[in-house]
A and B are shown apart, each in its own frame.
Chain A
Amino acid sequence: MKAFTRLNGLVCPIDRANVDTDAIIPKQFLKSIKRSGFGPYLFDEWRYADFGEPGMDCTNRPKRPEFALNQARYQGAQVLLARDNFGCGSSREHAPWAIEDYGFRVMIAPSFADIFFSNSYKNAILPIVASAEIVDRLFKECEATEGYKLDVDLEAQTVTTPSGFSFSFDITPHRKHCLLNGLDDIGLTLVHAEQIKAFEAKHKAQQPWLFA
Chain B
Amino acid sequence: MAKTLYDKLWDSHVVRQEEDGTCLLYIDRHLMHEVTSPQAFEGLRLAGRKAWRNTSIVAVPDHNTPTNNWDRDIEDPISKTQVDTLDANIKEFGSLIYFPFKHKNQGIIHVIAPENGATLPGMTVVCGDSHTATHGAFGALAHGIGTSEVEHVLATQTLVQKKSKAMLVKVEGALGAGVTAKDVALAIIGKIGTAGGTGYCIEFAGSAIRGLSMEGRMTVCNLAIEAGARAGIIGVDQITIDYLEGREHAPKGEQWNQAVEYWKTLHTEEGAAFDAVVEMNAAEIEPQVTWGTSPEQVLAVGGNVPNPANEADPVKRAGIERALQYMGLQADMPITDIQIDKVFIGSCTNSRIEDMRAAAVVAKGKKVAANVKLALVVPGSGIVKRQAEAEGLDKIFIEAGFEWREPGCSMCLAMNADRLSPGERCASTSNRNFEGRQGPGGRTHLVSPAMAAAAAIAGHFVDIRQA
Contact = CB atoms under 8 A, between A and B. Distances in A.
B255 A31 contact: no
A143 interface: no
B270 to A, nearest CB: 24
Interface in A26-44: 26-28, 30-35
Nearest to A23: B435
Contact of A18 (B120, B195, B249): B195
Interface stretch (B146-154, B276-284, B445-453): B146-154
B294 A18 contact: yes
Contact of B255 (A28, A96, A208): A208
A5 interface: no
Contacts of A208: 255, 258
B413 interface: yes
Contacts of A18: 194-195, 294, 319
A186 B249 contact: no
Contacts, number: 190
Interface residues of B, number: 82
Contacts of B151: 186
A85 interface: yes
Nearest to A86: B195
B239 interface: no
A28 B146 contact: no
Contacts of A113: 195, 198, 228
Interface in B137-185: 143-149, 151-152, 155-158, 160, 162, 164
A17 B296 CA distance: 12
B249 A212 contact: yes
Given A174-B18, A207-B259, A91 B130 contact: yes
A88 B230 contact: no
Contact of B149 (A34, A122, A200): A122
B78 interface: yes
A32 to B, nearest CB: 8
B95 interface: no
A155 interface: no
B129 A51 contact: no
Contacts of B406: none
Interface in B64-88: 64, 76, 78-79, 81-82, 85
B251 A212 contact: yes
A185 B129 contact: no
Given A45-B435, A185-B152, A31 B36 contact: no
B47 interface: yes
Interface stretch (A61-69, A71-79, A160-168, A189-197): A189-197
Interface string B34-56: 01101100100001010011010
B148 to A, nearest CB: 4
Nearest to B150: A93
A195 B157 CA distance: 12
Among all A-B residue pairs, the 3 with the closest Cβ atoms: A209-B251, A119-B146, A122-B148
Given A18-B194, A115-B146, A200-B53, 8 more contacts: A22-B436, A23-B434, A27-B414, A91-B36, A119-B147, A186-B156, A196-B52, A210-B120
17 contacts: A23-B435, A27-B437, A31-B82, A33-B38, A54-B78, A85-B228, A91-B144, A91-B145, A115-B146, A119-B146, A186-B47, A196-B52, A207-B122, A207-B262, A209-B250, A209-B255, A212-B251
